[in-house]
Amino acid sequence: MAKYEFGQHILDTQKPDVDAIAAILSDDTVDGALFAAANDVKTREYGNLVFVRGIIEFSNHCRCICAYCGINAHMDKVTRYRMSADELVDAAVDAAKVYRTVILQSGEDMYYTADMLADIVARIKARANCTVTLSIGERTLAEYKLIREAGADRFLLKHETADAALYQSLHGVPLENRLQAQRTLKALGFELGGGFMVGLPGQTDEILARDLLTLKEEGVEMAGIGPFIAHPDTNIGKAKDGDAHKTLKVLAIARLLLPRCHLPSTTALNVKGGMRDALLCGANVIMQKATPFAFRKLYDIYPGRDAQDVPLGVQFEELEQRLSELGLKAE
């Protein structure tokens, strides 16, 4: 643990303080020092390595009504799809030829029972030497346990915002449900991924500071932090997008608070052109699309996401070249 001085502000990573973090977020004069400190910590912990994951978005059906999401249950303009178990397993095995970690992501689609998901995970693990991460939302303890026992390694479940009132207004359910699900996953031995959005309507720097402390309190091992991007067809579609620069500041503080945490340059941040800067202020992970081409454009959770039909190997090679130009190495 360490203490960092940024101008008149002190960040004590052992006893972080909401007011101190909020003050750093609101003071743009300290950004250079903040980003340099975060990059130093990331380099100390991970050298020049950037861990690249392949993500397969296997269903855009969802039971939830999250106010910001382009595939929520009330979105009637969405062309819905589901990949079959065989399609998903084959896609994951193909992705594992390029990526060491494959992420299986969907809406909260209860069509896929725990038995189905466990079977899919087991089949992937039998055919491919890869880490399997799931991002499928909230399930019961019994369901999570079955999937874990089938061989799933990691689970991504963002808390989205640490403010209970804001969470309730956006999701229609209590924040505690989400936090309890995270704790269940952690107790079952999953490597837990969390995260949140920057720039949600009604969010303050104090709330962002509490978001960062929530990551620390819940013991996440990966955290996706990206700007809010308004989907025009949602209830908050006219809201202002989150600021990419503010997102970078939050990311940098996350690196200082959680030195060993895997922090991606998120897809949303990449949409805003922030990938290069993110990798130089604390990020050490990139997630690339491995969704079959037929479905890529249909997983439309927010506008601007890359849905190009680029073969996985070519996509990875292009990224390797971009990283090399920054003195970084894809892993």
- Average pLDDT (132-158) is 98
Cβ atoms 75, 122 nearer than 8 A: no
- Average pLDDT (129-139) is 98
Q: Which tens digits make up the pLDDT trace of 232-283?
A: 999 999 999 999 999 999 999 999 999 999 999 988 888 777 789 999 999 9
The torsion defined by the Cα of 69, 73, 75 and 81, in degrees rounded to 10, comes to 90
Cβ atoms 11, 19 nearer than 8 A: no
Tokens of 186: 């952690």
Q: Which tens digits make up the pLDDT trace of 193-224?
A: 999 999 999 999 999 999 999 999 999 999 99
Cβ atoms 229, 268 nearer than 8 A: yes
pTM of this structure: 0.96
DSSP E strands in 164-307: the ranges are 191-198, 222-227, 264-265, 285-289
Q: Which tens digits make up the pLDDT trace of 69-119?
A: 999 999 999 999 999 999 999 999 999 999 999 999 999 999 999 999 999
User: CA–CA distance from 325 to each of 50, 168, 227, 321 (Å)?
Assistant: 13, 44, 25, 6
What is the secondary structure of 127-162 as a DSSP string? Answer: H--SEEEEE-----HHHHHHHHHTT--EEE---B-S
The residue count for the chain: 331
Portion of the chain with pLDDT greater than 90, in percent:
93
User: Which pLDDT belongs to residue 306?
Assistant: 67
User: CA–CA distance from 225 to each of 135, 158, 200 (Å)?
Assistant: 15, 9, 12
Cβ atoms 263, 284 nearer than 8 A: yes
Question: 321, 295, 325: which is closest to 309 by C-alpha?
Answer: 295
Between residues 226 and 308, which one has the greater pLDDT? 226
What domains does the chain contain, in order, with CATH numbers? 50-330 (3.20.20.70)
Q: Which tens digits make up the pLDDT trace of 262-276?
A: 999 988 888 777 789
Strand partners, 5: 10
| Residue 54 host element (H or E) | strand 49-59
User: Which pLDDT belongs to residue 260?
Assistant: 97
Task: Write the CB contacts of 251 (distance below 8 Å, at least 6 apart in sequence).
Answer: 38, 225, 263, 269, 278, 281, 282, 283
Q: Which tens digits make up the pLDDT trace of 161-191?
A: 999 999 999 999 999 999 999 999 999 999 9
Mean pLDDT of the chain: 95
- Average pLDDT (52-57) is 97
